[in-house]
Each structure stands twice: as structure tokens, then as C-alpha cells.
Amino acid sequence: MSGRFWAIATIVAGLVTLGISVAFAMLPEVTAAGGCFARDAVVQFEFARNVADLVTIFGEPESACRPQIVNARDAVNHLDMLAFIPAYTLFGICAALFLANGVWQRPLVIIAIGVSLLAAAADYLETTTLLALTQTLDAPGGLLQYSQLGAWSKFVLLAAHAVFCAGICYTSDKPRYILGAVLLLPPFGVAAAAYDHVALSNVMAAGFTVAWVALLVMAVVSAVRAKGARA
């Protein structure tokens, strides 16, 4: 398949991923939770280490907000499993193939695709565990260890995917040096979150957002240029 095909596939998968990320905030359970549901609670729940962290996120057991936050979190996680994880995984795979002009046999491409699939597996581990956690917030047992394992593995693997895509940019016949540099941002964001996930998780989110938007924009530019060249 041609590079233009994979550019278009990247655009479609990227727009679907973007649309789903917007849809999270529009879920009825999220809007019903209103001020009870803090936007940064999504990542903080993923990184929760103990019962005290869970109380900070969900409130005390007798809190009127707790049931609303649980409903909102569960709704977000169900949409995550059904749509968001498959969408961003497909985006990552298509992006690697787009950057390689459809040549999937290149080692960096194979590794990038494999890492995308592993990140999805880690995310499913995390999300299924989070759904179990909301049913037993006051006595999580060993569930927090699994949710943290899934969350950190996911973000590390997604950062690795960005690095491998940067490698594809640098080693292609027509190198994309600027895009390659932008794709090196996610590892720094993950490192910042590992240092202080409460204060710096937004830095990690920003790194992934900038990198993925840059990929999407480059795919649009390439698809338009390829269409013009064929005209």
C-alpha cells in the first residue's frame, strides 16, 4: 500500500482518537458529576498508590460526591476500553507505516507496531483493574499494584513508540528532522510524571499531545501533497 494510503489512514485514526478524547467530557455520567469530577482525576486515579490517594480522588466514603465520581470514572473507563484504546493503537500503527512510506519490513517499523500493541495490552490491564477498584475503594488489596503496573507500562511504551517513530523520521530517504525532534518529547514528559505525578502529569500529557498532533498534521500535509503530485 502506498504512503498516501497510510497518510490517509493515519488522519482517519487520528481524528477518531481526537473525537473520542473530546467525547469523554461529554459523557452523561461525567456531566452529571459536575464539580465533583476533577479533570486531572483521570490520570491521578491511574497512578493512585494507596487508600489515601483514592480518598483524595473520590472523597470520603460518606461523601455525596463519591457515587457520582465512581459513575463518571466507570463510564470513562468503559469508553476507553471499547473505543479509545483501539483508536489510538490503530493511530500508532498507521503512523509508523505512514512515516516509513508503507514499508513495514523495516526493523524500526516492526518494533514501533509491536510496542503499540504492547501499550494497548498494558492499557487494558490498567483499565480493567480500575473498573474493579471502583467496587472496592476502601479495601483495594493488591489491585493498586496492577493498575500502576498497567499505567506506567502503557506510558513508557507509548513514549518508546514515539522514539521509534522519530528513528523512522531520521532514517528515511527523505528525513523529517523537525517531526523527529517533536516525537522525542514524550519520554521527557513521562520522566517528569515519574518524578512527581501529581504536579507534572500535565507535562506528560502535553508531550504526547504535541507529538501526536504533529504526526496528524504531517499526515495531512503529506496526503495533500501526494494528491497534488498525482493531479
Q: How confident is the model at residue 227 (pLDDT cuts 50, 70, 90)?
A: low
DSSP 175: -
Question: In this predicted model, what pLDDT tens digit does every residue of 163-174 receive, in sequence order?
Answer: 999 999 999 988
Mean pLDDT of 12-32: 95
Q: Which residues of 196-213 are buried (b: 16+ CB within 10 A; e: fewer)?
A: ebeebbebbbebbeebbe
Mean pLDDT of 132-153: 94
Q: What is the rounded distance in angstroms from the CA atom of residue 193 to the CA atom of residue 169? A: 26
User: Residue 48 phi/psi, 5° resolution?
Assistant: -55, 135
Question: In this predicted model, what pLDDT tens digit does every residue of 93-140 receive, in sequence order?
Answer: 999 999 999 999 999 999 999 999 999 999 999 999 999 999 999 999
The ranges assigned to domains in the chain are 3-230
Q: Which residues are CB-neighbours of 104 under 8 A, at least 6 positions away?
A: 97, 110, 113
Cell of 218: 504531517
Question: In this predicted model, what pLDDT tens digit does every residue of 188-218 receive, in sequence order?
Answer: 999 999 999 888 999 999 999 999 999 999 9
Q: What is the pTM of this model?
A: 0.93
Q: How confident is the model at residue 186 (pLDDT cuts 50, 70, 90)?
A: very high
Quote the pLDDT of residue 43: 87
